[in-house]
Structure 1
Amino acid sequence: MRDKSLHRVLKGIPAVTSDRHILIVAHTGRPDSLAAAIQVCRQLQAAGITPVLSRDEFDDMKTSAGDLSPVDILGETIDVGDLEIVIVLGGDGTILRAAELARGCSAPLLGVNLGHVGFLAESEREDLTDTVVRVLARDYLVEERMTLAVQAWVGSEMIFETWALNEATIEKASRERMLEVVIEIDGRPLSSFGCDGVVISTPTGSTAYSFSAGGPIVWPSLDAMLMVPLSAHALFARPLVVGPNSTLAVEVLDRTQGSGVLWCDGRRTQDLPRGARVVAKRSPVPVRLARLSQGPFTDRLVHKFALPVTGWRGAVGEGTRP
């Protein structure tokens, strides 16, 4: 049965029109990413579509391609709500930045991996031309990924509010000081301990920081949240997986000698004094990812992590053997 979060985008022959707005996000500080962005711009222009760029990336690209015009500038000539899709050229960090740019609009993100693992990316550099052809034809699926709504409080004052696609991480601010925390699930305290920090993750982020900290990999089709302690000094400080309607909280205890810091997706940050409290729950606003195929998540794990599967034959009698 097809996942209910997947929606087929109708195929169509792209008309020569200027009312389609496709944003290109690239790591223009890297030569390979810069060249790929210029290639995509020219391919869109050849199809009669004016590409959309951020002002900074347009300025970077003009240095290498002075004849790049016409382009639209996001926030100047085109609003984020007008975007049809976002083509992201880079690694997972660039995709997280694109998610920030497109936050709140319905445009999906389609990543082309120019980095190392590129777990969120859908295609590779050598498939770039074909990927743009698929975008022009609107030949892709859209998958919704849950995000976190994150707040930081000191007493009755909310000092910070943001969101996260991968994770919200409460960390110690100085290397030599341990963070003393108490974790809470659904309004009830669970345990207190000293640690380097605590990761609160989505299924999407389960293959990122949470995974590096020893957390489980959670299939993205599962609605859940993870809480993973970082280097905890406690007997009961194991990764936890809770339902999507739960509320998770981490309090920085007054006995902490230093202070903490909150990071969301490694991009949005807030200092946490002693006594601060971070609350995370499911956000009503998902991130939408464009997919070019419905391959199983297992295959993505094997491919991205280069997992050894040589010798597998499949179960007898299930029609899986060649």
Structure 2
Amino acid sequence: MSRRVLVLAHTGREDSLKAAWEACALLHASGIVPVMQESELADMERFFGHLAQPVEVLHDHVQLPDVELVMVLGGDGTILRAAELVREVDVPLLGVNLGHVGFLAESERADLAQTVEWIASREYTVEERMTIDVQVWVRGQKIWHTWALNEAAIEKANRERMLEVVTEVDERPLTSFGCDGIVLATPTGSTAYGFSAGGPVVWPEVEALVIVPISAHALFAKPLVVSPRSRLAVEVLGRTDAQGVLWCDGRRSVDLPPGARVEVTKSATPVRLARTHQTPFSARLVRKFELPIHGWRGPVPKADAIHTGPIPIVRTPRPMPPLQVPQSDQPGDDNDPTTAK
């Protein structure tokens, strides 16, 4: 049975088109059938002409569950678009960064040929990233239901009006304040909008939800890290007529009138990301953000590798008993001849 890999690219950019063309050629040379969406394949053929290698069309020649892997060529936005496509069928994503930071991407454009070799030899692992379930309620009616891999971001709709909100954790109110917005993020999203708003960086394997206020006018409006089993909610207060807007992963949005309620919980359906490098997350942070690490000495030697001699035992000397003077040696003794009359 033939192996198939879906190639997704931002075909509005020339560098993405060239990377997609090269990826299809490399996959075909490795014995893997490249698959593309019809619109993206048409864009590539308009740019390059008829392709020498055969490419199957998604939903025409092949269905999504028959694809082994999705190779995403672009930045984090392209990967988020791909996640919308494959989340319900458990097909893993492998990102090749063509953008700036590309935190979700696994490899860079220069490593494209090596990445295809890893795919061909199945030298990759798959990890699951937590997603969130997002619901919007207005006057007791659910008006919107979606999900997010990175975050659900509540923002003020008008630049000149501050948004008044009250936060809630586990069905108990926490605090209210005026703000420019508030981010409800996953660990994956902690390095995206949440990080830009001053939130903490959370390691991907940590199961948690993050609340990050944006420019809050309040004393207690700090970023919070809560249990993934918690139910988070943010209500847009009616103190003013300021409107809000909810964005999920920066791709899907809905308006929030005064009185709207946004509820966020951990979703039961994760997104699967393919990994070709077994590098620690700290190393990814250093590489993606170009963090300075000059002067680092590394871990100290392990205790069991250090050989030392026996530890000397210091004994405390026993105290000497007080000197006892014999009775016969006492002055004025009647038996002492020197004192006899």
Normalising by the residue count of structure 1, what TM-score does the alignment of the two structures yield? 0.91
Q: Does 1:55 align with 2:38?
A: yes
Residue from 26, 29, 46 that aligns with 2:29: 46
Shift of 1:314: 1.8
Do the aligned partners of 1:195 and 1:229 also contact (CA within 8 Å) in 2? yes
For each residue in 1:220-252, what CA deviation from the matched residue of structure 2 results, as whole angstroms up to 9, or x when unmatched?
A: 010000000011111111101001111110111
Matches within 5 A, 1:12-91: 17-18=1-2, 20-68=3-51, 70-91=54-75
Q: Does 1:290 align with 2:268?
A: no
For each residue in 1:186-215, what CA deviation from the matched residue of structure 2 results, as whole angstroms up to 9, or x when unmatched?
A: 100001111111100000011110001000
Indicate the larger mover: 74-83 or 30-39.
74-83
Shift of 1:218: 0.4
Shift of 1:139: 1.2
Shift of 1:274: 1.2
| Residue type at the aligned position of 1:181 | V
Number of the residue aligned with 1:232? 216
Report the 3-state secondary structure (helix = DSSP H, G, I; strand = E; otherwise coil) of the residue aligned with 2:216.
coil
Number of the residue aligned with 1:265? 249
Do the aligned partners of 2:30 and 2:117 also contact (CA within 8 Å) in 1? no
Matches within 5 A, 1:101-250: 101-250=85-234
Shift of 1:81: 2.1
For each residue in 1:107-154, what CA deviation from the matched residue of structure 2 results, as whole angstroms up to 9, or x when unmatched?
A: 111011111111111111111011011111211010111000111111
Do the aligned partners of 1:146 and 1:165 also contact (CA within 8 Å) in 2? yes
Do the aligned partners of 2:32 and 2:120 also contact (CA within 8 Å) in 1? no
Number of the residue aligned with 2:240? 256
Do the aligned partners of 2:169 and 2:232 also contact (CA within 8 Å) in 1? yes
Number of the residue aligned with 1:10? none
Q: Percent identity?
A: 63
Question: How many residues are matched?
Answer: 302
For residues 162 and 270 of structure 2, the distance between their equivalents in structure 1, rounded to whole angstroms, comes to 34
Larger CA Rg, structure 1 vs 2:
2
Do the aligned partners of 1:178 and 1:257 also contact (CA within 8 Å) in 2? no
Report the 3-state secondary structure (helix = DSSP H, G, I; strand = E; otherwise coil) of the residue aligned with 2:219.
coil
Tell me, which stretches of 5 or more residues in structure 1 are unaligned?
1-16
Relative to structure 1, the CA distance from residue 48 to residue 314 in structure 2 (aligned partners, 3 Å threshold; closer, same or farther) is closer
| Residue type at the aligned position of 2:291 | L
For residues 62 and 139 of structure 2, the distance between their equivalents in structure 1, rounded to whole angstroms, comes to 41
For residues 56 and 173 of structure 1, the distance between their equivalents in structure 2, rounded to whole angstroms, comes to 33
Shift of 1:177: 1.1
Tell me, which stretches of 5 or more residues in structure 2 are unaligned?
304-341
| Residue type at the aligned position of 2:250 | G
Do the aligned partners of 1:90 and 1:111 also contact (CA within 8 Å) in 2? yes
Shift of 1:79: 2.3
Report the 3-state secondary structure (helix = DSSP H, G, I; strand = E; otherwise coil) of the residue aligned with 2:233.
strand
| Residue type at the aligned position of 2:217 | H
Shift of 1:31: 1.1
Report the 3-state secondary structure (helix = DSSP H, G, I; strand = E; otherwise coil) of the residue aligned with 1:102.
helix
